[in-house]
């Protein structure tokens, strides 16, 4: 876990999504991708948040859909572009995205 956290810190520091893919735990890798997607305003990175699973983090269930939805939400908000809200599968989150991206 320490190695993954170190790699994630470098990825976030340098906004280097290629480093995110070296993080073993799914939830950490997906978090890394959506944080960089938000910084760069790059919705293509959200598409990389998906199964198959590598290693599930202990604790709460690791769900790529939740991370992907969050990624599209933060990118749409940053870009102020509601077209990315259509990629969100959760209806409540999608409605919130539409409202937030119009501001």
Is 11 inside a domain boundary? yes
Residue 9 lies in a domain: yes
Q: Mean of the per-residue pLDDT values for the chain? A: 89
C-alpha distances in Å from residue 22, one per residue of 57, 72, 93? 15, 22, 29
Residue 55 lies in a domain: no
Domain residue limits at 38: 2-50+61-101
The pTM score is 0.85
Question: What is each CA distance from 55 to 12, 47, 60, 70, in whole angstroms?
Answer: 21, 19, 13, 20
Domain tally, the chain: 1
**Confidence bin at 24 (pLDDT 50/70/90):** confident
Residue 56 lies in a domain: no
34: in domain = yes
Dump pLDDT digits (tens) for 46-82: 999 986 666 665 555 568 898 999 999 999 999 999 9
46 inside domain: yes
What is the per-residue pLDDT for 85?
A: 96
């Amino acid at each position: 876990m320490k190695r993954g956290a170190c790699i994630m810190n470098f990825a976030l520091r340098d906004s280097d999504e290629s480093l995110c893919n070296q993080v073993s735990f799914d939830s950490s890798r997906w978090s890394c991708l959506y944080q960089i997607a938000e910084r760069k305003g790059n919705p293509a990175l959200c598409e990389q948040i998906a199964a198959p699973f590598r290693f599930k983090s202990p604790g709460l269930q690791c769900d790529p859909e939740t991370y992907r939805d969050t990624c599209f939400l933060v990118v749409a908000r940053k870009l102020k572009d509601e077209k990315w809200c259509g990629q969100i599968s959760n209806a409540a989150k999608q409605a919130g995205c539409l409202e937030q991206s119009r501001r």
